[in-house]
Amino acid sequence: MILEHRLDKYLALREQLASKIQATMEQHAMAEVDALKENSTVSSHSNPRLSPTLSNSKTMSQKKDIGQKRGSEVLEKDAAKSSMGQDVSQNETKSPRAPQFGRNNIELEFRPVLIKLWQDLSRNYRGQMKKIFRNVRRNREISFKSQADVQKKFLNYLHRSDNKQELLDQFVKDFNQFSDEFPDLREDNATKEELHQRCDVLSDELWEIVEERKEQNIDERKKIMESGSVENNLDFLTTCAQSLLQSELDKFKASIQIIHDYYFAIEEKTTHELTGAVTSELTFDGDEMPSVEVLGENADSTVIASYSYPRLDKLLQMALKQQAVPDVTKIDAAGADKKGGKAPPPKKGAPAAKDAETDAPVEESMYVKEMKEAVRVEKSLLRFRLVQIRNWTLNRLQDTRQQALSTYKKFDDWIQVAQKTEMDTIEEMCAVIKKAIEDECKIQHELRIQFMDFTVDNSTLNYINPPIPKLEALEQSQSDRFAIPQLRNLLGEFETIAKATGDLLQCRELCQLLYSKIKNSFHFCSYESQVPETWNTFGLAEINQMIRNLDFKNTGYVNWRTLMTHIILLKSSVPNAKEISRIEKMLKEPEVSCDQFCKGTFWFEAAEQSTDRSNAIVFERVKMIKQLLFDTHQCEEKLSVGRFATTLGQISQRAGEGANFSDVLFAQVRI
C-alpha cells in the first residue's frame, strides 16, 4: 500500500510538471509567430519529423546557422519588449519557469506531441500498476479466507468421532451385570484385583485409539502441507513482481525516448528511432527457470531465514541489466561522418586531420549535458524502484511463508494438546471406575467420553433400563410421490421465477426447467432438490405430454399454480363437484388465512398419510400438504376460496371417474 501511494503521488507530480510546461509553451507561442513567419521557409523544413527529405538535405552547419539566427531574433524581440515595460520584463527574467530562448527552436506542431506522449505514458503506467496491485489484494483476501477454511476443517477433523464411547459403554454394562450376578464376590480382594486389571485393559485399548488418532492427525497435517496452496501463492506473487519490474522497464525506455526526442528537437538534429536500448521481456526463454523458493541444504524448515527466492533475485538482475542506454550523441556523430563522405587528402607536410581532431576535445553543448543528466536521473529512479519492488515482493513472500509455518506449527500444537487432553480424560475415567471397584458398588450414572471431554451424567442411570427415546419424525419414503422437502424446494423455485414472469410460464421454458431438474436430480442434487424415483426415467416426451395436458387450449403458457397443485396431490384422487362445493361452504369466507385453511377437512387426507416408524414422533404430512396448498394459491397471506375452487373444478372436468392427479397429468394427449 505504501508503494502504491508513493506511485500515485509521483505520477501526480509528473503530470503537474507536464501541464505547467505545456502552459508555459502556449504563453510564448504568440511571441514566436512573427519570427516563425519570417523564417517560415527554413522552419517548415528544419524538423525532420515534418519534412525528412528537406531536413536531410541540409548540412549540420546550415542547421546550426538557422538555430543561431532564430535565437538572435527571439533575443531582439525580448529586448524590445523589456524596453516598453520594465516591470513585466523583470518578472519574466526572474521567473524560474520562463523557458530559455534556445528551447523556442521546437516546432509548434511537435510540442503537443511530446506532451501527449508523456501523458499517455503516465496513464498507461498507472493503469498497469493499479491492475497488478488489485490482483495482489484480491489474492491476499482469497488466501486469508482459504487459510481460515483450512484451519476450521482441521479443527473439525480433530473433533471427529471414534469408538471410545462404545468400548466404555460395553465395559460399564459388563461391570454392572457382573455385580448383579455375583454380588458376594465384589468383597473378595482377588475379584477386585481382576476388575482393576480389566480397567487397565480398557485404558490400554483407549490409549491405542488415541495414538491411532494422532497418527491420522499427523497424516492430515502432512497432506495440507503438501497440497501446494502456499507454493501457488508464492508463484503468483513472483509473477506479479515480474509484471511490476516489466512495467518499470517499459516506462524507463519510453521516458528515455521522450528525453532524446525533446533535446534532439531543440538542437534540430535528426531523431534516431529507438535511441534507447531495445526493451526486452523479462522471460527465461532458452534458460532454465529458477525455482520460486528454495530451502537451504540441511536447513531447518521451520525457520523463515532458511528459505531463499532465486527467481526473484534473477528477475532483479535481468531488470538491472536493462538500464543500459547507448550514447545517442556518438550515434549522431557517426551518422554525420557517414553522410559527409571521405575527407580530402592532407597536403604534404601538413599534420593529419584525424590526429588534430582527436587532440582537440569536443565541447558538449548545454542541451547535451542536460540530456545526459536527465538520463542519469532516470537511471537512478529506475534502480531505486526496481530494488523497492524486489524488497516489497521479498517481504510478501516471506510473510506468506511465515503465515504457512505459523499455521503448520499451530496444527502441530493442536495435535499435541489433543493427545495430552485425551490421555488425561482416560485417566479421569479410570479413576472413577476404580473408585467404584473399591467402594464395591455399581456404576450408577452414565459415563461419557468424547474427544477431550469426560463427564458423569447424573441424569442417566445405567442399571435401570430407561425408556427407549422416541425416534425423530421421519417421512415415509415413496418412489411415486414428492417428499415434503422436495415440494418446498420446488415451490420456492416457482415463486422465484414467478416474481419475474408472473403466474404464466412459457411451455418451452417450463419444459426445459423440468428436464434440467430431473437430469440434475439423478446425478448431482441433494435430497431436497431431487424428484421421485419414477420421475428419473422421464425424458422430453413425458415432460411435453405433461405440459400438453396442462395447456390443453394450446396457448403456449401454463399456470404454475395449477402445475404445483398436480404435483402436491400427485397420488390423491381428483375431487368431484360435490366435494368442491362442500369445501366452499366449509371455508365460509371469500378469503381465508393459513390457520383457517389448515383447520379444514379435505378429501385427500387419507391418501396423503405417512406411515411412521415404531416408537417415533408422528410426521404430520397432511398438515404440511395443506400448508403447501395454501402457499401455492395464496396472495398476500390470503387464499381466495373462489379461485381455489375454480382451479379444482377445471381439473375435475378433465379427470375421469376415480382418477387421481397423476392420471390427469400424464393422460394420453388428445390430438
DSSP 158-191: HT---SHHHHHHHHHHHHHHHHHH-SGGGG-HHH
State mean pLDDT over 225-240.
93
What percent of the chain stands above pLDDT 70? 74
Q: Which grid cell is 631?
A: 402457499
User: Letter for the amino acid at 264?
Assistant: F
* Cβ contact 665:546 at 8 Å: yes
pTM here is 0.50
Confidence at residue 74, expressed as pLDDT on a 0 to 100 scale: 37
- pLDDT for res 526: 66
The mean pLDDT of 187-192, rounded to a whole number, is 90
Tell me the domain boundaries of the chain: 2-79+100-109, 230-339+363-408, 484-665
pLDDT at 90: 42
Cβ contact 154:224 at 8 Å: yes
**Residue in this structure with the C-alpha cell 507530480, named with its chain if needed:** 13
Cα–Cα nearest to 534, from 670, 665, 668, 657: 665
pLDDT of residue 362: 58
C-alpha cell at 531: 424428484
Closest CA to 211 of 63, 475, 426: 426
pLDDT digits (tens, 9 = 90+) for 291-311: 999 988 888 888 988 999 999
Instruction: Give the pLDDT score at 316.
Output: 92
Confidence tier at 462 by pLDDT (50, 70, 90): low
Neighbours of 154 (CB within 10 A): 19
Locate 18 and state its grid cell.
507536464
Instruction: Mean pLDDT check: name the lowest of 144-158, 274-288, 325-339, 390-404.
Output: 325-339
Q: Residue 50: its pLDDT value, please?
A: 33
DSSP string, 594-661: HHHHHHS--TTTTTT--PPPTTB----HHHHHHHHHHHHHEETTEEEHHHHHHHHHHHHHH--TT-BH
What is the percentage of the chain residues whose pLDDT exceeds 90?
Answer: 25
Query: Mean pLDDT lowest for which of 190-194, 398-402, 426-430, 441-445?
Result: 441-445
Q: Is the pLDDT of residue 28 over 80?
A: no
> When comparing pLDDT for 551 and 209, which is higher?
209
Residue 373 has pLDDT above 70, yes or no: yes
Instruction: Give me the pLDDT at residue 17, please.
Output: 55
Q: What is the pLDDT of residue 473?
A: 83
Cell digits of residue 244: 511490476
Q: How many Å apart are CA 119 and CA 113, to the nearest integer?
A: 10
Cβ(529)–Cβ(482) under 8 Å? no
User: How confident is the model over 469-498, as a mean pLDDT?
Assistant: 85
Q: What is the pLDDT of residue 309?
A: 93
DSSP 315-338: HHHHHHGGG----HHHHHHHHHHH
Mean pLDDT value of segment 456-485: 77
What's the whole-number mean pLDDT along residues 556-573? Answer: 88
Q: Residue 474 above 70 pLDDT?
A: yes
Write down the pLDDT at residue 86.
41
| pLDDT given for residue 135 in this prediction | 94
Nearest to 312 by CA among 217, 396, 368, 383: 396
Residues with Cβ within 8 Å of residue 607, at least 6 apart in sequence: 571, 572, 573, 660
One-letter amino acid at 548 equals R
In a 3-state reduction of DSSP, which class is residue 58? coil
> Does residue 547 surpass a pLDDT of 70?
yes
Read off the C-alpha cell for 617. Answer: 414422533
**Of 321-325, 399-403, 418-422, where does mean pLDDT reach its minimum?**
321-325
Does the pLDDT at position 400 exceed 50?
yes
d(C-alpha 446, C-alpha 457), whole Å: 5
Work out whether strand 445-450 and strand 307-308 pair parallel, antiparallel, or are unpaired. unpaired
**Res. 26: pLDDT tops 80:** no
Q: Which set of grid coordinates corresponds to residue 221?
A: 497435517
For position 222, what pLDDT does the model report? 94
CA atoms within 13 A on the CB side of 665: 20
Where residue 221 falls among pLDDT bands split at 50, 70, 90?
A: very high
Q: What DSSP line would sit under 498-531, residue for residue?
A: HHHH-SEEEHHHHHHHHHHHHHHHHHT--TTT--
Rounded distance, CA 631 to CA 652, Å?
21
pLDDT beyond 80 at 265: no
**One-letter identity of residue 377:** V
Q: Residue 622, exposed/middle/buried by CB under 10 A (0-12, 13-18, 19+)?
A: middle
Is 125 exposed, middle or buried (CB count within 10 Å of its CB: 0-12, 13-18, 19+)?
Answer: buried
In three-state secondary structure terms, 61 is helix
145 pLDDT above the threshold of 50:
yes
Which stretches of 440-503 are assigned E, i.e. beta strand?
445-450, 453-461
First vs last Cα of the chain: how many Å apart?
72
pLDDT score for 69: 40
**Which amino acid appears at position 330 of this protein?**
K
Phi, psi dihedral angles at 502 (to 5 degrees): 95, -170
* Alpha-carbon gap, residue 609 to 244, rounded angstroms: 69
Distance CA 392, CA 385 (A): 10
8 Å CB contact between 474 and 613: yes
- pLDDT tens per residue, range 32-89: 544 444 443 333 333 333 333 323 333 344 433 434 443 344 334 444 444 444 443 3
pLDDT, residue 448, reads 85
Which stretch of 21-30, 186-195, 238-247 has the lowest confidence by average pLDDT?
Answer: 21-30
Does residue 665 carry a pLDDT above 70? yes
Taking each continuous run of H as one helix and of E as one strand, the counts in the chain are: 23, 9
Compute the distance between CA of residue 41 and CA of residue 33 in angstroms, rounded to an integer.
13
| Residue 331 scores a pLDDT above 70 | no
Per-residue confidence (pLDDT) for residue 94, from 0 to 100: 41
> Which runs of E-coded beta strand occur in 231-306?
294-295
Question: Residue 361 is which amino acid?
Answer: P
pLDDT for 493 equals 87
Long-range contacts of 126-134 (CB under 8 A, 24+ apart): 126/7, 126/8, 126/11, 128/243, 128/247, 129/4, 129/7, 129/244, 129/247, 130/4, 132/240, 132/243, 132/244, 132/247, 133/4
Per-residue pLDDT at 75: 36
User: Which residues, at least 6 apart from 365, have a Cβ–Cβ distance to it below 8 Å?
Assistant: 267
d(C-alpha 594, C-alpha 627), whole Å: 7
> Strands 638-640, 591-592: parallel, antiparallel or unpaired by DSSP?
antiparallel
Instruction: State the average pLDDT for the chain.
Output: 77
The confidence score (pLDDT) of residue 346 equals 46
